[in-house]
Amino acid sequence: MNDTELPPLDAAVLPPGIRSRFVPGVNGMRMHVLEAGFETLYRPLVLLMHGFPELAYSWRKIMVPLAAAGFHVVAPDQRGYGRTTGWDPDYDGDLGSYRLLNLARDTLGLMTAIGYRSAAAVIGHDFGASVAAWCALVRPDVFHSVALMSAPFAGPPALPEAAANRSAGEDIHAALAALPRPRKHYQWYYSTRPANADMHGCPQGVHDFLRAYFHHKSADWADNKPYPLASWTAPELAKMPTYYIMDRDRNMAEMVAAEMPLAAEIAACRWLPDHELAVYAEEYGRTGFQGGLQWYRVRTSGRFEGELQLFAGRTIDVPSLFIAGKSDWGTYQRPGAIERMQDAACTQMVGCHLLDGAGHWVQQEQPEAVTELLVQFLRRAKG
């Protein structure tokens, strides 16, 4: 079976009320989506954009409750992920197709292809929060509100001319490598050629790699006790766990293997039992991770920064919301970002919530609390 013949996701792995289908002709792709609230026409549209290493499936716990609140809820496998096809899987391929403005174009194209001219909200988690933020920034006439999860949006990059007289600062990578315990930043590791093979072909297998990765970044890992960092300097960044600031000479599969939960911990994990993790493992076992890793390469290469600088100084002026777990280092991995989001980047931010009992996977770890906040926000934004 080739990728264009992939069937929808098996209904047996989905909660009742969610369907899997394909939407052809979306910016050159055949996009796989999960959908709830589709039975009634003319409902307000809510789009859910996942991060890494996630899928549309990552929204399964909140889709039906959002639909019950009166919305048509659509979650795609984004470019580079899952059962969506038509994206370039090659490390040496078309990196530009993964740039943020094209990912926002994917979102606009999906909305149009399913028959809408606007969306009540675009909601993003992790790297999907960047996509959601840029949708709201560039097309506020189309995306009427935005909710960001686990990754604060600090605004578009500044023009280099505005920073011409500032000092260049330290080479953060050299400084990390020079620490007494030599380190490296995970985003730059994800941008290397070996990263996909390191994870896809790891000795423990994709299922156990993902189990350890999800566990390590969740509230189940007791040492996730984040706090604001003082600056973008090596000693400060090195305070974060090794899934963000890795040991210099180890890959990500090796880093998380050291934190593999015990069998009893896995059995006790209610937010991601093994039969649900198996859905991720099957998809990533088939596709590998390179599609998602291309997003990081766009960010770390700086090749497409210039087109984002066109929007320097522009703010998100539609109603906005931020949700993250109290045990999520993602809130603080860019020092000052959460403050800039609230003080400058989002002019109509109605709430910033850090939830107990959740790490990075907030909509999976605490779906009821997330749903309650989103429904309140959507109703307020609509009103």
Q: Which of 77, 126, 220, 328 is catalytic?
A: 126
| Residue 224 to residues 173, 218, 253, 286, Cα–Cα distance (Å) | 24, 8, 19, 31
Q: Which residue is listed with tokens 């078309």? A: 94
* Residue 207 falls in the annotated catalytic set: no
Q: How many CA atoms lie within 13 A of 251 on its CB side?
A: 16
Could you tell me which residues come within 8 angstroms of residue 370 by beta carbon, excluding any fewer than 6 positions away? 62, 149, 323, 355, 362, 363
* Residue 360 falls in the annotated catalytic set: yes
Cβ contact 185:172 at 8 Å:
yes
Question: If 0-12 CB within 10 Å is exposed, 13-18 middle and 19+ buried, where does residue 94 land?
Answer: exposed
Q: Phi first, then psi: what are they for 281, rounded to 5°?
A: -60, -40
* Catalytic residue IDs: 126, 360
